[in-house]
Structure 1
Amino acid sequence: MPPLRSGVLGALDPTSDRAVFRQIADQVREAIDKGRFKEGDKLPSETELVEHYGVSRMTVRNSLSVFQGEGLVVSEHGKGVFVRPRPLVRRLASDRFARRHREQGKAAFTGETEAEAEAAGSRPEVDSLEIKEERPTRDMATRLGGPRRVLARRRRYLLDGRPVEFAASYLPLDLARNTPIAQPNPGPGGIYARLEELGHQLDHFNEELRARMPTPDETKTLRMASGIPVIHLIRTAYDTQGRALEVCDIVMAADAYVLSYQLPAT
């Protein structure tokens, strides 16, 4: 079926004070939001849009730059502009570190994504794992109570083969060296289960969260289109004595997450 079939895109409003290129961008965005153009569909070419709206090629290019900047589309050289596939949304629930998940042998990422991924025919996985001993940054040292050396665990998380998050965990070296935590696979329940087996009872987690635009390296690591922000979350895990056991620095593709919290009313 031709891209500009009847009803997919409308006409310009000559009485509007909104710039013509923004009117075109509004219409294309609405067509994407309403499913007239679906994920992976090729958008009308510049020539088709010029003919449809009766405007200059530069006006069309200006409109294309608007929703390219919003991350709605991807451009493939020599092929055209396509509606960007959206990643499976992962729900970031407030109980994701509950002890019951560890007792079931589930690390936080795997446990949270299992049900949603299974329903979507997808699968969660981890790649780009790096484990090393290093000096912490000043910020990490402060958060962890001043250790001179830490064990760093860096990894990237995928859903259906698509990067959605990367994270770096930092633990005081005296807690983690020569333990399963220093191994690529720390075992069922992840590093928190191993910490508790080592006698460090987890008491609570503090999280700091903000949204921002990604750095060039983050865009590359998460393979994100331009215009997509990230969620930057720093989590600190404490034991019952108030000692910081781990700091996890996480960057997530914002369009791949819904933050879901249950908060007491008292």
Structure 2
Amino acid sequence: MPGIPSSTLGALDPTSDRAVFRQIADQLRDAIDRGKFAEGDKLPSETELVDHYGVSRMTVRNSLSVLQGEGLVVSEHGKGVFVRPRPPVRRLASDRFARRHREQGRSAFIVEADAAGSHPSVDSLEIKEERPTHDIAARLGGPRKVLARRRRYLLDGRPVEFATSYLPLDLARGTPIAEPNPGPGGIYARLEELGHRLDHFEEEIRARMPAPGEVKTLHLAAGVPVIHLVRTAFDTEGRAVEVCDTVMAADAYVLSYQLPAT
């Protein structure tokens, strides 16, 4: 069996105070960054790494665990360890809620999925009237009850996002917004048809590690963080008409922005 080329993975430094398994993880990470292992490529097997470095199998497994914890690789039982694909969706923050998309009957998620060449779908839909949390109520101006729309978004069958929209009940009750399929262009198109022309959106974004329920809902691999985004939509009268609380698989998205310089 041919060995691993020295141009791909080097030798260990016996004088380093860095643990051996971390040195191996560093070299594998560097090889991935340099493109020696591309997206979807299989890394050398445990046996190959043991032979190359002259270490125990447990040391190699610890090295691979480091990379899995960083979300760089994924282990497939019986097949090996593979470089995780890069985010397939480019989320264009400056364009995704453009009115022209709604007028064409296309929601933001569909626009982005089409640009990525992926097939979008939605499941796990729940629609119910409920009392909002203190935070959601404050963002919406203090309604006692809201209509909550919970749904999970998938690309080519893979869960990538889970979102809950909260709308003041006086706006949403008895309208298509309360239906499983609100119609072309989504709930923003329906809000505008109801006379609430959208003026602007405010978003708060943070990255964090997922809660256990989010790992299950989004089928997240070990080490993959989430992007937690809370968006508030305002109409031209300055009223907050929707708050959307979204959790996205961080390995599925690139957040892209265009910002004015003046």
What is the TM-score of this pair, normalised by structure 1? 0.89
Q: CA deviation at 1:79?
A: 4.2
The residue number in structure 1 matching 2:254 is 258
Q: Is the 8 A contact 2:3 2:52 kept in 1?
A: no
Please give the residue correspondences for 1:180-219 in structure 2 after superposition, counting only pairs within 5 Å: 180-219=176-215
Per-residue deviation, residues 183-221 of structure 1 (Å, max 9, x unmatched): 111111111111111111212111111111111111221
Matches of 2:82 and 2:6, distance apart in 1: 20
Please give the residue correspondences for 1:88-237 in structure 2 after superposition, counting only pairs within 5 Å: 88-117=88-117, 122-237=118-233
RMSD between superposed Cα atoms in Å: 2.2
Q: CA deviation at 1:87?
A: 4.4
**Greater Cα shift, 167-176 or 108-117:** 108-117
The residue number in structure 2 matching 1:37 is 37
Q: CA deviation at 1:78?
A: 4.4
Q: Is the 8 A contact 2:87 2:254 kept in 1?
A: no
Unmatched 5+ residue regions in structure 1?
none
2:44 alignment partner AA: P
Aligned residues: 262
Matches of 2:183 and 2:244, distance apart in 1: 18
Per-residue deviation, residues 31-62 of structure 1 (Å, max 9, x unmatched): 33344334444433333322210123332222
Matches of 1:23 and 1:190, distance apart in 2: 50
Q: Is the 8 A contact 1:88 1:159 kept in 2?
A: no
Per-residue deviation, residues 100-149 of structure 1 (Å, max 9, x unmatched): 221122111112332232xxxx2222222221222211211111112222
1:60 alignment partner AA: V
Query: Compared with structure 1, are the counterparts of its residues 2 and 250 closer, same or farther at alpha carbon in structure 2 (3 Å cutoff)?
Result: farther
Tell me whether 1:4 sits opposite 2:1 in the alignment.
Answer: no
**Greater Cα shift, 76-85 or 61-70:** 76-85
2:259 alignment partner AA: L
Matches of 1:74 and 1:264, distance apart in 2: 38
Unmatched 5+ residue regions in structure 2?
none
For the residue of structure 2 that corresponds to 1:187, the secondary structure is coil
For the residue of structure 2 that corresponds to 1:74, the secondary structure is strand
The residue number in structure 1 matching 2:241 is 245
Matches of 1:155 and 1:7, distance apart in 2: 47
What is the TM-score of this pair, normalised by structure 2? 0.90
Matches of 1:28 and 1:42, distance apart in 2: 12
2:91 alignment partner AA: R
Q: Is the 8 A contact 1:104 1:189 kept in 2?
A: yes
